[in-house]
Amino acid sequence: MRVAMISMHTSPIAQPGSGDAGGMNVYVLSIATQLARKGVDVDIFTRATRPSQGEIVEIEPHLRVINIVAGPYEGLSKEELPTQLAAFSGGMVQFIKCNNLYYDLIHSHYWLSGQVGWLLRDLWGIPLIHTAHTLAAVKNAYRAADDSPESEARRICEQQLSDNADVLVVNTEDEKNELIAHYDANDCHISVITPGADTELFTPGTDRNTERSRRELGIPLHTKVVAFVGRLQKFKGPEVLIRATAELFKRDPQRNLRVVICGGASGETSNVQNYHDLARELGVEHRIRFLDARPPQELVAVYQAADIVAVPSYNESFGLVAMEAQATGTPVVAARVGGLPIAVDHDVTGLLIDGHGASQWADALAQLLDDDERRIHMGEQAVEHAAKFSWAASAQELLKVYEEATKIDMSECHGPRQAAGI
């Protein structure tokens, strides 16, 4: 089987945790890698952002990343990428024609890629599988009050994909229900495939690992540590943790606690300095350590150095950070939103919080920070919980979806289905 994956707006080999790179990058590369190891030939098409990378990047046998030139290499924001959809589509067509390639199906990731996939599906007469990862209607429903809404143009494009993709792949039943509720999607066209975690990379740390990790990160050895990992944008909620930290020290100025926030700016409205300023304004700047985004191989040390990982997002399609943290044996305190109730087993591997108030988050963090026995037991159970999720298992389920999709009769008239909500 040959699969054309499309990840137009961000490369799967980009550094997660800053810019537009995040959990989706990890998802695409991880699932593609496991498919390749099952003998599927996968080409991932993405927009070229620097000429030095070359047109074709060989990742491993059966897996390549193809960099398509569409617009300037740098200085083009995600909001401006719709202007390059035609150029990107044309670049894909030219590459495939020049290399005499064929594909059995297309799998697009995110709505921009989906628009390209929709065009090529009808051009080539092969099935289109689409994974949204995030949805405008859902983000707008759960966004923070002072966060910028997603555009109506994006919502319309997502509606078109919901109406026209042959298969919609989602991470959870909750995400499936959101597609049906907000986009009137046909549940017969939706497949739920739970993502995984790299449980070979993210492993539990010994006391020696924890000490080494803290020394490398410049964190005192004999202190409690709460970590946040992710892009520094309002939707991920880093300010929730900063305000909760201030509340903890307001209650107990002598509390022995350090907070690590690991990630970079994301989007035009994101500014890392704003989070530094907030910590200074609340009087906790000396209690919080800001770290730049780092590759997964280095994130292991951050997770192992932490006693708790906080995931205060306003929505998550799954919650990859929560799963990676648990795989290292670190319990998680997370918002009860999106797929996080699946990623975190409440009161077993961590705590789920309703809402984003500083007081309620301080309460939850204090519960685990002040109860060593409970927290350590949760960490042990977290490893067992994370072991149930693997990228190999996810890829096996996705391969079944692919095999079924290739049986679709593409010779029939394949015009758009009813476009509800536009």
The 3-state DSSP composition of the chain as helix, strand, coil percent (nearest 5) reads: 45, 15, 35
Residue with tokens 């070229």: 48
381 annotated to bind ligand: no
231 annotated to bind ligand: yes
143 annotated to bind ligand: no
Measured CA to CA, the distance from residue 166 to residue 188 in angstroms comes to 10
247 annotated to bind ligand: no
21 annotated to bind ligand: yes
Alpha helices in 105-224 (DSSP H): 110-124, 136-142, 152-164, 173-183, 207-217
Structure tokens at 77: 């924001």
Count the alpha carbons within 13 Å of 272 in the hemisphere toward its beta carbon: 16
25 annotated to bind ligand: yes
Residue with tokens 């909620």: 237
110 annotated to bind ligand: yes
Residue 105, helix vs strand vs coil: strand
142 annotated to bind ligand: no
Q: Give the DSSP per-residue string, 300-317.
A: HHHHHH-SEEEE--S--S
165 annotated to bind ligand: no
236 annotated to bind ligand: yes
20 annotated to bind ligand: yes
CA distances from 400 to 24, 168, 169, 192 (A): 21, 14, 12, 12
Cβ–Cβ < 8 Å for 209, 281 = no
Cβ–Cβ < 8 Å for 67, 44 = no
254 annotated to bind ligand: no
154 annotated to bind ligand: yes
15 annotated to bind ligand: yes
306 annotated to bind ligand: yes
27 annotated to bind ligand: no
24 annotated to bind ligand: yes
402 annotated to bind ligand: no
277 annotated to bind ligand: no
269 annotated to bind ligand: no
Binding-site positions for 1D-myo-inositol 3-phosphate read 9, 20-25, 78, 110, 134, 154
Q: Which residues are annotated as a binding site?
A: 9, 15-16, 20-25, 78, 110, 134, 154, 231, 236, 294, 303-304, 306, 316, 324, 330
Q: Which residues are annotated as a binding site for Mg(2+)?
A: 303-304, 306, 330
Binding site feature residues for UDP-N-acetyl-alpha-D-glucosamine? 15-16, 23, 231, 236, 294, 316, 324
